Amino acid sequence: MALGVCLLAPLPFSPLGYSQDSTPPQQEKQDMVVRRTKEQMQAELARLSEIFDVIREYMLREEQSADRRALIPTGAEIQAAIQDRKMTASDTIASLQQAINNHSIALEQAQQNGLSTLIDFPAFYKNRTGRNYFEDIQHPGAAARAILARGVITDETEYYLLIEYLNDTSQTIFNEDEIIRIGQMINDFETAAITQNQ
């Protein structure tokens, strides 16, 4: 996978240096997904916004163009869009989680392949927050394994996470049989989305 993964695909903003080719299928979350209270949603939104802001700062640290910098919203701007009812909290949380997942996968691949790009991000994150990045988020490989163990993709964030591993020929987390199972889960998710939209 190229390091130009999507930073914030579902949000109505143009991301810097990241692209996603397709619009994900729409699907209602399964009954197994626990609904969060308003307070829990706000806490999760604040947590993800803080993480995203550090990623944004890192990605833009050498960017001098104000126009380019304006392409990626800050956490505060994202939350303001919710207040203005331009976005829902649940969609924003999913978007932020997807952006963080994509960044984490790119970081994981850079570390595995010995690439210099992104290698210094964990130190940058610790310097800004005093915390370990992979302790603040669920490692994308562990999250993908949990989805595979469950056997069902429940939302678009999980869908894109598995797509990244399916398309990455250099990944070493999943064996051939597991990749086949992931492909079937992705197919099931897409088929269900098409059926719902008919």
pLDDT at residue number 15: 33
For residue 132, the model assigns a pLDDT of 93
Which pLDDT band, with edges at 50, 70 and 90, does 186 fall under?
very high
The answer to whether the pTM exceeds 0.75 is no
Q: Where does residue 161 rank: exposed (0-12), middle (13-18), buried (19+ CB within 10 A)? A: buried
> What is the average pLDDT across 63-78?
74
Mean local confidence (pLDDT), 69-84:
78
Residue percentage of the chain with pLDDT more than 70: 78
Please name the residue that has the structure tokens 């994202």: 78
Other CB atoms closer than 10 Å to residue 180's CB: what's the count?
A: 12
Average pLDDT, the chain: 77
pLDDT tens digits for range 22-39 = 333 333 444 444 567 888
The pLDDT of residue 157 is 84
pLDDT given for residue 188 in this prediction = 92
Reply yes or no on whether the pLDDT at 53 is more than 50. yes
**Cα separation of 123 and 105, whole Å?**
17
More confident residue, 90 or 7: 90
> Is 66 exposed, middle or buried, given 0-12, 13-18 or 19+ CB atoms closer than 10 A?
exposed
Answer whether residue 155 shows pLDDT above 80: yes
- Gap between the Cα atoms of 155 and 115, Å rounded: 31
